[in-house]
Amino acid sequence: MPSASSTTISSSASEYVTAAEAARILKVKPQTLYTYVSRGLIRSVAQLDRKDRLYYREDIDKVRARSDARAGTGAAAESALRWGQPVINTGITELTPDGPRYRGRLALDLVRQRRSFEAVAELLWTGIDHLEAVVWDSEQLPNGFGELMDHVVLQGELPPILRVFGIATTMLGAAEAARNEIRRGTTIPAARQMILTLTGCLGYLGPARRFVVPESARGLAENIARILLPSVSPEIVLAINTALVLCADHELSPSTFAARVAASTGAELRACMLAAVGAHSGALAGAGCDRVEDLLRDAHSSEDVRLRLLTLEQAGNRIPGFNIVVYPKGDPRARALLQIARSFATNEHTRLVCEFIDEADRRLHLRPSLEVGLVALTIALGMPAHSAGALWALGRTAGWIAHVMEQRLAGFVLRPRARFLPAA
């Protein structure tokens, strides 16, 4: 690990800063910095083989932005959009130390009660809590949809799965052009069709290597298991359902905000979903699952994983998939997924992944977030590469749709103002 005075760590490109640099940015004394840390406003991370700690640059900038916001309305608005201050009223999801609450119901409680993902999706959409299992009938796809998808997707090297989701969403939107779901009042059937279609896209990751139409007599989690895995058990189906439920919504994430912006203009559902998928595909959002997989899936030994971790630390980069800002004591969703992954830990690779996660927590105080939990679970279940990111986006589609519906009822256009800064 580089020394505290290393230019690598203190450079503007680094995602961590030293205590001295943090105090300089905030224009405070070191004692004030430590007060911010003790109050949970700024997270710190240990260094391998060193006593000095590093501090998250994003937290430092967030505290500074709150201070700058006192300068006026424009600064306050910029702070809100950039650093997570409340900007939209919602009745869908509340973030709590115990994880997200969907319409007032803790997501982890819904998991414990074994609510199907379909029931949770409809809870988000309508506020109605279905106590019984919900299974959707297959919404009819446009004629030749699967064949057209195969023709586009299988032209060469398989695109990233989020790009495949975007292709499918675009094709559904094109077919909908003359039959707008808003005017016809068929938003919920269109929502079900969207999720079932994206489920069929998982066939490109599975052994079929083609679009697979989900079977209407089966639940979504079972369809996913059958598409991605050679054999299926009730325990596997329950694990996948748990992952989907925990991914379903997380308040106003960037992708959700993108969906709401599109919805506020009166855009059709598929257009709103395309905006959300595009935002979610970024390296700092849904594609983060692939970064976590790069870190964990190809490691061959404990020493190999440790060296990967050390390399990232020396570059001053934030380790992907750890220490999400809204859960300073750790992401409850990740803990739930890791517990399930450990119960399936019958292979050496899963044991190695869990060992790395435990060491990162013990030595560096890096607490896993949702991405790590999803990657560990999909490795434990024997799913193909990139399944974690696919499950995240597929589950989150339910939340995106709920926010589209809520934004439409709000009846106003989301249009932030810009603060012009003349060139120096």
Element housing 122 (H / E) = helix 117-126
Q: In whole angstroms, what is the distance from residue 146 CA to residue 210 CA?
A: 8
Q: In whole angstroms, what is the distance from residue 251 CA to residue 94 CA?
A: 6
Residues of the chain with CATH 1.10.1660: 7-83
Start-to-end Cα distance in the chain? 38
**What pLDDT does residue 336 have?**
97
| pTM for the predicted model, two decimal places | 0.82
Is the separation of the CB atoms in 387 and 378 below 8 Å?
Answer: yes
**What pLDDT does residue 9 have?**
41
Element housing 46 (H / E) = strand 44-47
Helix (H, G, I), strand (E, B) or coil at 55: strand
Q: List the pLDDT tens digit at each of the 424 positions of the chain.
A: 333 333 334 444 567 888 888 888 888 888 888 888 877 778 888 776 677 788 888 788 777 766 665 554 445 555 555 555 657 889 999 999 999 999 999 999 999 999 999 999 999 999 999 888 888 876 788 889 999 999 999 998 999 999 999 999 999 888 766 667 887 888 999 999 999 999 999 999 999 999 999 998 899 999 999 999 999 999 999 999 999 999 999 999 999 999 999 999 999 999 999 999 999 998 878 887 888 888 787 777 777 877 777 776 676 666 778 888 888 889 999 999 999 999 987 778 888 888 888 888 887 788 999 999 999 999 999 999 999 999 999 999 999 999 999 999 998 899 887 878 888 6
Is the separation of the CB atoms in 121 and 251 below 8 Å?
Answer: no
Q: In whole angstroms, what is the distance from residue 77 CA to residue 138 CA?
A: 44
**What pLDDT does residue 97 have?**
93
Is the separation of the CB atoms in 340 and 114 below 8 Å?
Answer: no
Fold (CATH) for 7-83: Multidrug-efflux Transporter Regulator; Chain: A; Domain 2 (1.10.1660)
* b/e code 166-204 from CB counts within 10 Å (16+ = b): bbbbbbbbeebeeeebeeeebbbebbbbbbbbbbbbbbb
Q: In whole angstroms, what is the distance from residue 393 CA to residue 323 CA?
A: 20
**What pLDDT does residue 7 have?**
35
